[in-house]
Amino acid sequence: MAKKTLNIGLVGYGFMGRTHSNAFLQAPRFFDLPYQPVLKAVCARNADRAKGFAENWGYQSIETDWRALIERKDIDLIDIASPNDTHAEIAIAAAKAGKMVLCEKPLGRTAAEGKAMVDAVQSAGVPNMVWYNYRRVPALVLLKQLLDEGRFGRIFHYRSQFLQDWTISSDLPQGGEGLWRLDASVAGSGVTGDLLAHNIDMALWLNGPISEVSGMTETFIKERKHSLTGKIEAVNIDDASSFIGRFKNGSMALFEATRYARGHKALFTLEINGENASARWDLHDLHRLEFFDYRDEGRLRGWRSIHITDGDHPYMKNWWVPGLQIGYEHTFIHQVADFLTAAGQGKPVAPTFEDGLACDYVTDAVLSSAKTKQWESVPSA
Ligand code: SOE
């Protein structure tokens, strides 16, 4: 039977534009979906670059103004993969036009922006999702299942880090393509919104709401040349961000994200310790879940390293054969597959904009606590 088509309008053609485009193309090849995504148009200010991107990925047309893209009757879904300062305006306009909306993380530069975006999609009643892609790592979906089955008992600790080292050089400029993550007016914040947000979103999903935080941030390089003005300007992003906190379930939170951990490129780690069991995971070995169960027979008790490649592991029966791994790009493919499946059933799928807002509330509280040097409570979304 011919599937319903779903016409995609992508805004932005950077690293994330590529991960999303690949996911739209691959998802229907590996999953049985109610919709066939069609790469209808890509939108970017530079027409030549947009054309090149369209040719490479198979987009049928280009736009250079996102407003024109949203006005098009032949677009069903707006996918926002452009820098953070564009998220709110585009998402709100897209929702008002009745389009489905997908948005790169973080949802807003602040929770205030995020709240306006949630209000827009809710009053328009349009399907929406934030690209917190790591929720679709099969090993972490398995961890979520184990937690939901109650295997850990009472949770005592949740700790998580995201370590990178790409901004250590003081010669690296801020602002402009590829470097807007260093410009606070565009990014909103530094590692707090870019990296720590991943740790937080994952924790909210796995371990529930965070009630209060005490944060600390640092900007190691205080001035950098701005790529757009050519001038030396103050750096207003946080280069490193850490916090301790409390989850509503009574467990303790310990989080850190930095772009100054020499030797680390993208080391996202997490560990959770409960009264019966513990688990740990890291992005460099993303297909493995380390699991310890105290209730195992004493003589054999120990950490097991589960290779998440079998047909009964989350998502894996849709891929190769047992023992063969998948990687980073598959998390986006899973996200598209889940979104389209849910949209076909008229159901929401997490992380929705509301989930994105819950994360924005925590990042806002961390940044605010770092300024006030006081504990901050986290509002619920
Ligand atoms: C930053 O370097 C970055 O690309 C983030 O923006 C992504 O969200 C993260 O997944 C990898 O690192």
The closest residue, in CA terms, to atom 6 on ligand 1 is 194
The DSSP symbol for 134 reads G
Please give the distance, rounded to the nearest whole angstrom, from the Cα atom of residue 346 to the centre of ligand 1: 31
Please give the distance, rounded to the nearest whole angstrom, from the Cα atom of residue 292 to the centre of ligand 1: 30
Please give the distance, rounded to the nearest whole angstrom, from the Cα atom of residue 195 to the centre of ligand 1: 6
* Distance spanning both ends of the chain, measured CA to CA: 41
The secondary structure element, H or E, covering residue 218 is: strand 210-218
Query: Rounded distance, CA 381 to CA 377, Å?
Result: 13
Q: How many CA atoms lie within 13 A of 256 on its CB side?
A: 13
The sheet with strand 100-103 has its strands ordered as 61-63, 35-43, 4-11, 77-80, 100-103, 128-130
Q: For the segment 276-327, what is each residue's pLDDT rounded down to a tens digit?
A: 999 999 999 999 999 999 999 999 999 999 999 999 999 999 999 999 999 9
The closest residue, in CA terms, to atom 9 on ligand 1 is 195
Closest atom of ligand 1 to CA, residue 15: 4
Please give the distance, rounded to the nearest whole angstrom, from the Cα atom of residue 194 to the centre of ligand 1: 6
Query: Rounded distance, CA 341 to CA 238, Å?
Result: 38
Ligand 1 pocket check for 306: Cβ under 6 Å: no
pTM for the predicted model, two decimal places: 0.98
Query: Rounded distance, CA 164 to CA 23, Å?
Result: 25
Ligand 1 pocket check for 194: Cβ under 6 Å: yes
Backbone angles phi, psi at 181, to 5 degrees: -65, -15
The closest residue, in CA terms, to atom 11 on ligand 1 is 266
Cα–Cα distances (Å) from 377 to 185, 244, 355, in that order, read 25, 12, 17
| pLDDT beneath 50: ranges in the chain | none
Q: For the segment 351-372, what is each residue's pLDDT rounded down to a tens digit?
A: 999 999 999 999 999 999 999 9
Ligand 1 pocket check for 267: Cβ under 6 Å: no
- Residue 6 and residue 37 in contact, taking contact as beta carbons nearer than 8 Å: yes
Give 376: exposed, middle or buried? Use CB within 10 Å, 0-12, 13-18, 19+. buried
Ligand 1 pocket check for 266: Cβ under 6 Å: yes
Structure tokens at 170: 């003081």
Closest atom of ligand 1 to CA, residue 134: 10
pLDDT on residue 119: 98
Please give the distance, rounded to the nearest whole angstrom, from the Cα atom of residue 332 to the centre of ligand 1: 13
Among 281, 271, 278, residue whose Cα is nearest residue 302 = 278
Structure tokens at 347: 């159901």
pLDDT on residue 381: 76
Among 375, 265, 335, residue whose Cα is nearest residue 102 = 335
- Residue 165 and residue 263 in contact, taking contact as beta carbons nearer than 8 Å: yes
Q: Where are the alpha helices (H) located in 74-154, listed in sequence order? A: 87-96, 111-124, 138-148
Please give the distance, rounded to the nearest whole angstrom, from the Cα atom of residue 89 to the centre of ligand 1: 22
Query: Rounded distance, CA 281 to CA 176, Å?
Result: 34
Which residue among 87, 194, 198, 199 has the greatest number of ligand 1 atoms within 8 angstroms of its CB, and so is best to mutate? 194
The three-state secondary structure class of 213 is strand
- Residue located via tokens 């916090």: 243
Structural domains of the chain sorted by starting position, each given as residue range(s) with its CATH number in brackets: 4-133 (3.40.50.720), 137-326+351-377 (3.30.360.10)
Please give the distance, rounded to the nearest whole angstrom, from the Cα atom of residue 182 to the centre of ligand 1: 12
Which residue among 19, 160, 195 has the greatest number of ligand 1 atoms within 8 angstroms of its CB, and so is best to mutate? 195
Q: Where are the alpha helices (H) located in 149-245, listed in sequence order? A: 184-187, 191, 197-207
Backbone angles phi, psi at 257, to 5 degrees: -135, 140
Ligand 1 pocket check for 364: Cβ under 6 Å: no
Cα–Cα distances (Å) from 141 to 133, 145, 288, in that order, read 12, 6, 12
Q: Which residues pair with 267 in a beta bridge?
A: 163
The closest residue, in CA terms, to atom 5 on ligand 1 is 194
Please give the distance, rounded to the nearest whole angstrom, from the Cα atom of residue 380 to the centre of ligand 1: 26
